A and B are shown apart, each in its own frame.
Chain A
């Protein structure tokens, strides 16, 4: 019971940490409005988070939720220009566009826009080149330019609803049926285009009759209205459902720039206009009512609310905290030898796994596809498999080795996964060839399970080496660990072999050949061969226990190369994103692993010899 209480306290703390202490304007209704972006229907919350991640590198801006930040950007141009939303860490990029470097590497649109405009021809020329021809600075320069352009268009995307047009002329205001000094949006005039036409006609007639007729108020108004669609219709902020029979959602400017507006569109546009007016007036209730009316009128809620809940729950982060807790408990167990710590670690691991599984399940339900379609997803799923394997080993052995392996791998893989989340929307649409639920659910799922189990096998190899160094005389435990390690290796071999062969069959179905020596295929084969070497080497007596532990440990290197390394080659039919930073991290990991494992194996061998000498 005590542990359950501790947990509940922990969970409450975690929940409280993530809660926003103060909210100026409740954006929750706005966050779940549907938008089509990058081919997918998603809540504005996801759109805001992925956009902010791109610009800022975080899913929150200062203390604001992403949707609050987006609301500011969509409604307040001056503020949007001043927000230091762009993160540029490379001094070379800052220098090349001639902007004064900021201490925190944060820049506003006001600082960057002119600088990028000046260098636009150069950047456009760079953008024409192949990616492989660009160096790191040039790549970032093009990226930042695209982000600035996107941000500018984002600011303009709802400008038709901004109540920033003022009619001070009493006669003119009367003609439109409003009070002098009333703040009106562009949409107001588009919606009252018949009145506007009549006013223009009347004015023209009066001007013909009387040359001295003063129409300056109307001329000023017309100038504003005439320019705006040309200036500000760039952004495809697609929040309005498609026209009948279509799939492409439309932005407010798409509707206004079309030749005519049907009744349904008019209703939706009026509701949005009212919502923006309420926002401008700071009327929370009216805003919520209009947004709700809008959402009801759009009639598309399929899994949208669940996605908003998924975003705000941050289940994978929370799971990671529990894994870290479990790992720390095992360390304390190692120091104190108190079995209570193992139990606590076990509970923490199970809680983390439950959150992790819920997160994976929610993603599957939202996307209606297996949870292994991107590197981000595959890492998180492999992490879950590692946790499950570690817990099974723990049930078998009850000596905390399974917990140690599972918690360590889960934490490491979680961090790797989060780095991929920074690339934007993690639920992106699939390429045509990958869009096969059957093969995703068979080949990709199996191979990722293989990766997960192989990672545990690798870590178990490390633990065997530590055991052999620390307790070379404990023959019984060493033998038990060897038996377990062989079991894990066989399970890993089963899944990697099955996954690799299923991949071959998919390739045969899709591309016409079972095996094409594609780098990704070679990577999978590398793990299979490596596990076969370890198992057969041990069977043939070519490698003993230390050798087997060493080979098993290096499985992690094979998995890293197969999973991430082959993408470095930029060839083949399996294409994924890759950056130089990942390459450096990968080489560093492989190098360190080689050194650590070799030194550990040599040390274990030395200990074994010492023991043998002592026995003699």
Chain B
């Protein structure tokens, strides 16, 4: 064992040396540029979120929908690893290379922040009509399927399945639901079409006279309308069979089992605000440049209800409200023909929020220091010129 140790160390050193070489960084950047260009070009067709999922945030990207190639996330991880190895094992810590090293540390921090944001951030939006209130926000990018037990008198028992369960062949089971649900067909965006009554298959309810027409994804996720066909089993005989569940369109699907009624719902993922918080929209103000319909300023006067306490706040463009780790931004608004207004607030919880701030300062200090250390004559000349 002891004889092998130096050899092993030598091999480890070689591997580390290879991993930390700038060549990897160089070619990874090249590849990242290719992913960046390809992803950006498809945004006009797919929309920003879908392109992000397929290219930038993906471990694997499908080239021409046929060949799997490393996705943006894989490359970013590779670059981070390369940078880390370079920093720890290869960087020379002397004054001349201090600028570069500092810039690399800043970049590493930026990557850590990006990782935290990618995995732990929550984003959504709140719609509150003037005079109304809400304690929920929805994430239009992520879908969920819910089975709602409506039998309790004072509340509903909701069994929610996240978007990762929504694919053909997936079987949804829950301890509080006596039956089981299997997904036979699923489309993130679809329309429903009235058809002649179907004579084949075990169709139930309004699904007997409707078909799902798949549609291309909308650029704005909120405009997509999901639809799916599920096979219900283990429930009452009248409920067992094929049901069609659609977002917004069609009546609510109800199945019966063990004397209870369960509703099947597909829709965007809904979150509840923390600490029993409820937002009430007191007033929404939209100002326009005089004589135009170009918005100059809009703001929402909010009353925040929390466990019996009440306080007021204003959320406006470029001035969000921050509380309990959440940030609420003035995102959009709605004005109806009858004069009724509603505000749309973005809700974000991001654990990596401060990383870009810190890392950007470090990166800029690093590059500036590098310039100062490597081009002193040039800078001295400029300073002298201005002084003169």
Give the interface of A toward B (CB within 8 A): 36-40, 236, 238, 242, 247-249, 392, 395-396, 429, 431-433, 435-436, 439, 487, 490-491, 493-494, 497-498, 501-502, 504-505, 508-519, 522-523, 525-526, 529-530, 532-533, 536-537, 539-540, 542, 566, 568-572
Contacts and interface: CB of A to CB of B under 8 A. Distances in A.
Nearest to A543: B26
Contacts of A249: 290-291
Contacts of A512: 123, 320, 327, 329, 331, 346-348, 350
A512 B347 CA distance: 7
Given A432-B298, A435-B317, A529 B29 contact: yes
A421 B317 CA distance: 28
Interface in B277-331: 288-292, 294-298, 317-318, 320, 327, 329, 331
Given A490-B370, A491-B371, A533-B29, A514 B289 contact: no
B318 A439 contact: yes
A39 B22 contact: no
A487 B375 contact: yes
B291 A248 contact: yes
Given A248-B290, A540-B26, A566-B40, A396 B378 contact: yes
A429 B29 contact: no
Nearest to A501: B360
Contacts of A519: 40, 43, 48
Contacts of A522: 36, 39-40
A39 B356 contact: no
Contact of B26 (A511, A513, A536): A536
A511 B371 CA distance: 34
Chain A CB count within 10 A is highest, among B27, B347, B348, B360, for B360
B19 to A, nearest CB: 14
Contact of B48 (A487, A504, A516): A516
Contacts of B360: 498, 501-502, 504-505
Given A436-B318, A517-B51, A517-B52, A39 B290 contact: yes
A508 to B, nearest CB: 7
Closest 7 CB pairs of A and B: A39-B289, A540-B22, A512-B348, A501-B360, A569-B44, A432-B295, A39-B292
B291 A36 contact: yes
A14 B156 CA distance: 80
Contacts of A571: 43-44, 47-48, 219
Given A39-B291, A490-B367, A512-B123, A529 B33 contact: yes
B351 to A, nearest CB: 12
Nearest to A493: B367
B128 interface: no
B320 A429 contact: no
Contact of B367 (A494, A505, A540): A494
Contact of B297 (A395, A432, A533, A566): A432
Contacts of A526: 33, 36-37
B81 to A, nearest CB: 16
A490 B375 CA distance: 10
A597 to B, nearest CB: 16
B235 interface: no
Interface in B25-45: 25-27, 29-30, 32-33, 36-37, 39-41, 43-44
A399 B347 CA distance: 56
Contacts of A501: 356, 359-360, 363-364
A395 B385 CA distance: 9
B48 A508 contact: no
Given A429-B296, A508-B356, A530 B290 contact: no
A515 B356 CA distance: 10
Majority SS of interface residues in chain A? helix
Contacts, number: 173
Contacts of B382: 392, 395-396
Interface string B344-386: 0011101001001101100110011011001100100110010
B36 A511 contact: no
B327 to A, nearest CB: 6
A532 B289 contact: no
A526 B114 CA distance: 18
Contacts of A517: 39-40, 43, 48, 51-52, 56
B23 interface: yes
B166 to A, nearest CB: 23
A285 B353 CA distance: 66
Interface of B: 21-23, 25-27, 29-30, 32-33, 36-37, 39-41, 43-44, 47-48, 51-52, 56, 113-114, 117, 121, 123, 219, 288-292, 294-298, 317-318, 320, 327, 329, 331, 346-348, 350, 353, 356-357, 359-360, 363-364, 367-368, 370-371, 374-375, 378, 381-382, 385
A498 to B, nearest CB: 5
B360 to A, nearest CB: 4
A536 B25 contact: yes
A591 to B, nearest CB: 15
Contacts of A40: 289
10 contacts: A36-B291, A39-B292, A396-B381, A432-B298, A490-B371, A517-B56, A522-B40, A533-B26, A542-B26, A542-B27
Contacts of B51: 517
Contacts of B21: 540
Contacts of B347: 512
A514 B363 contact: no
Given A39-B292, A435-B297, A526-B33, A515 B114 contact: yes
Contacts of A568: 44
Contacts of B375: 487, 490
Given A39-B290, A571-B44, A497 B30 contact: no
Contacts of B23: 540, 542
B288 A529 contact: no
Contacts of A431: 294-295
A518 B378 contact: no
Given A39-B296, A249-B290, A540-B23, A510 B329 contact: yes
Contacts of B381: 395-396
A296 B381 CA distance: 53
A432 B296 contact: yes
Given A494-B371, A517-B40, 19 more contacts: A38-B291, A242-B290, A247-B290, A396-B381, A431-B294, A432-B298, A487-B375, A497-B364, A504-B360, A510-B320, A514-B117, A515-B356, A517-B51, A523-B40, A526-B33, A533-B29, A536-B26, A539-B22, A571-B44
B367 A572 contact: no
B37 to A, nearest CB: 7
Contact of B320 (A395, A509, A529, A532): A509
Contacts of A530: 33
Contact of A511 (B29, B114, B329, B363): B329
Nearest to A41: B290
A199 B235 CA distance: 90
Contact of B288 (A37, A39, A433, A572): A39
A509 B322 CA distance: 11
B368 A494 contact: yes
Chain A CB count within 10 A is highest, among B23, B56, B318, for B318
A36 B288 CA distance: 14
Nearest to A526: B36
Contacts of A515: 114, 117, 356
A508 B123 CA distance: 12
A504 B356 CA distance: 8
Contacts of A436: 317-318
B85 to A, nearest CB: 14
B43 A487 contact: no
B33 A533 contact: yes
A429 B292 contact: yes
A536 B22 contact: yes
B48 A435 contact: no
B20 to A, nearest CB: 11
